Structures are given as C-alpha cells and as structure tokens.
Amino acid sequence: MFRKLREQLYVNNHFKLPLNELITRLKSIRNISDVLAICPQPTENSWRGVLTATTGLFPDSTLQIPQYYSHSVYTNVELKQFAIELNQCKFQKIVFSGFPFYFQSIIEYLWEFGFRETHVIYHGSFSSNREDAVTTKMLYTILMLARNGKINRLGFVKKGMSETIERLTGVKATHIRLFTNVPQGIKPIAFDNNCTNIGVFTHDQYRKNIDNQIAAALMVQNANVHTRRNYDYAYTFSENRLIYHPYFNSYNEFLSLLAGMSVNLYISFSECFGQVITESMALGVPCLASDNSGIFDFDHDLKSLLVVKEFDDSHAICCQIENLLSEATFDKERLKSYVKLLNSKARESVSSFLDD
C-alpha cells in the first residue's frame, strides 16, 4: 500500500502536467488549427517514435498527453473533464496517433458528447502481435470502436494493412506514409576518420534482426560499430570495436549520431516504416534496409543499392555494406531529394486520411 502511494506520488511529481495547463496548451492549438493530433508523451524511449511520427505529420497541432510509459497519469474524472474541453473547442477533426488504452476513455467520452470526427492512426503491425499480447488487444479495441462508429476513420502506417483491415472488417482505412522532419544545421558527431563507422540503432526484439546486422558490420575491415546497448555480443570476439550509445535526451543528439556514421543499418525482418532509414537519408548518410515498408517504392535504382534481399544472411549483408562503401562517388544529395519526394507522398496520404 505505502509502496503504491510512493509510486503514485513520484509519477504525479515527475510526469503529470496539471490539467489546467494541458487545457491551456489545447486551446493554444485551437487558435491556429481546425485539426488536433493527440499523441502519448514519451517516457525515456517509450513512445518516442510515435511522437516523432506525429509531429512530422502535424507539426503545429500535436498535443502530447503526459503519461507514465503507457499508463494514464490522470484519473477517469480528469480524463472526462479533458474530453469536455476537447468537445467545447469544436475542432473539425481530432486524430489520436498511437493508442495507449486510456485513449479509449477519451474517445468514448467524445462520442457521448456528440463528437463524430474522431480519427486514429495505428503505428503497429500484424507481426508485432506475436511479441506482446497487449498489442493484439489494442488492435482489437481500436477495431471494435471503429465498427461501433466511435472512430470515424483509421490510418495504418504499415503498408498493406489498411487494405487488409478493410477487407476483413469493413472498416474504412487509409495507408499513412510518415513525414521526415529533420531540422537544419545538424552537426555530425566526429569519430575517428581512419575507421569506417557503422550505425545499428535498433533494439533486441526478434523482428529487428539486430544480431545479423551487428555481425555483418563487424566483418567490415577496420570498422567500428555503434549501437544502443550491449545485448551480449561476446560470441563475436570483437567487442572492442563496439561502441554503445545508450540513451539520448534530445532528438537532435540522436540525429547528430546518425549523421556521424559512414553508413547506417536498419535491416529488420518486419517494419511499419523505419524512420531511422529516412532520417539517415535526410542527413545524407546511406542506410541499408529491408524491403518491408514501402520506403523505396519510388526509386528502383536506389532500392537496388540500399535494399538487402538476403536480410537473414549476415555475410550477404556484409557484402552489400562493402559494395555500398566502394561507391566513392555516391550522391548524398540524391538521398536528401528522395526524402523530399517521400514527404510529398506523406502529405498526400494525410490529406486523403483527413478529407475522405
């Protein structure tokens, strides 16, 4: 009992924004926008990708809801009061980007108050359902809300998922391409110029394929390999060439790290979009990837250079890294231009999502 009270006090002191301040932020967005995007506020790295994706799509109209990891810091009474204020602001559309379970309460309150333009963007995939039963329940909850009319429109970041959901459930859905909004003036972190620096910035879930990528990068001669943390790579007998970057407080710090690499790797078995890929390209640094998120749909030459077909073969990955590094005249501006093209496609997808 006392432990729970101490934890609640800690959460309230460190994570909870007073409701009146949250409502003030809400009203300031209403002064400049008819559309509101609501997303969870990250706790350390939890939900950080969703925040980056949401602010990319809705740069001036994103409201972060304070939380503790995926748990609400507000009582049901406070969530209802927040929903009342939301309804009174009379936004034309409200987009919930990401879906911690307490979003259901807000959406149902809005429905109760008569609001009928609630949209939800889902950032997961079918593959992630086998990693965590919570994600399966989350998707089911969203679809039931949509089938009951409490969500007006669904958007899916994962390519092919919107078409699948429409056919299986009859719920209208849109494929959302993400916008990559890398700030100007990012300065690369300087590393040893006598070494090739390879970035593998992902976590250890099976679908992220991190061990194949680490092993492949370590096979590259005179390469230092940068990653988030030590997931026990003693079996490589090359730990002296692994450099760990455990956590960054700011997005710009992470971008500076990406920019300091010779090449980045994001060769996952399954991916919804893979923002690290487009962030790296926007910085002029090539990033090898798998063909599982539609990122390279609009440039087949770039696709043949950067997409690894044998993504479960560490030797094949190594060969493609070496082939890429041998391209002495590689056009970095082409990477940046391609991200601009992807951003135009992202704007089109959001317009379709909001207007249909």
Average pLDDT over residues 319-329: 86
Going by C-alpha positions, the residue among 190, 254, 250 that lies closest to residue 227 is 254
Average pLDDT over residues 12-22: 87
Q: What is the pLDDT of residue 329?
A: 66
Between 106-110, 139-143, 244-248, the lowest mean confidence (pLDDT) is in 244-248
Cα distance between residue 268 and residue 265, in whole Å:
9
**Domain 2-176 is in which class?**
alpha beta
**Position 11 pLDDT exceeds 70:** yes
Number of Cβ within 10 Å of residue 156's Cβ equals: 25
Average pLDDT over residues 253-269: 96
What's the angle, vertex CA 293, arms to CA 43 and CA 267, rounded to 5? 75
How far the first Cα of the chain sits from its last, in Å, is: 50
**Position 1 pLDDT exceeds 90:** no
**Position 293 pLDDT exceeds 70:** yes
Average pLDDT over residues 209-230: 96
Record the tokens describing residue 350, joined without a space.
Answer: 């959001």
Kindly report, residue by residue over 58-111, the tens digit of the pLDDT: 999 999 999 999 999 999 999 999 999 999 999 999 999 999 999 999 999 999
**Position 192 pLDDT exceeds 80:** no
**Position 5 pLDDT exceeds 70:** no
Record the tokens describing residue 346, joined without a space.
Answer: 């992202």
**Domain 196-342 is in which class?**
alpha beta
Average pLDDT over residues 334-347: 96
| 244/46: higher pLDDT | 244
Two domains, one topology: 2-176 and 196-342: yes
Say if pTM beats, i.e. exceeds, 0.75. Answer: yes
Q: Indicate the pLDDT class of residue 37, thresholds 50, 70 and 90.
A: very high
Q: What is the pLDDT of residue 330?
A: 74
User: What's the chain's average pLDDT?
Assistant: 93
Residue 199 has φ and ψ, to the nearest 5°, of -100, 130
Alpha-carbon distance values, 188 to 7, 34, 182, 336 (Å):
39, 38, 13, 16
Residue 114 has φ and ψ, to the nearest 5°, of 100, 5
DSSP H stretches of helix in 1-93: 2-14, 19-30, 48-57, 76-89
Q: What is the pLDDT of residue 7?
A: 64
Q: Indicate the pLDDT class of residue 296, thresholds 50, 70 and 90.
A: very high
Give the max Cα distance, the chain.
Answer: 65
Q: Letter for the amino acid at 274?
A: G
**Position 167 pLDDT exceeds 90:** yes
Average pLDDT over residues 152-181: 95
Q: Indicate the pLDDT class of residue 246, thresholds 50, 70 and 90.
A: confident
DSSP H stretches of helix in the chain: 2-14, 19-30, 48-57, 76-89, 103-112, 133-147, 161-169, 210-219, 251-259, 275-282, 300-306, 314-325, 332-355
Q: What are the structural domain ranges in the chain? A: 2-176, 196-342
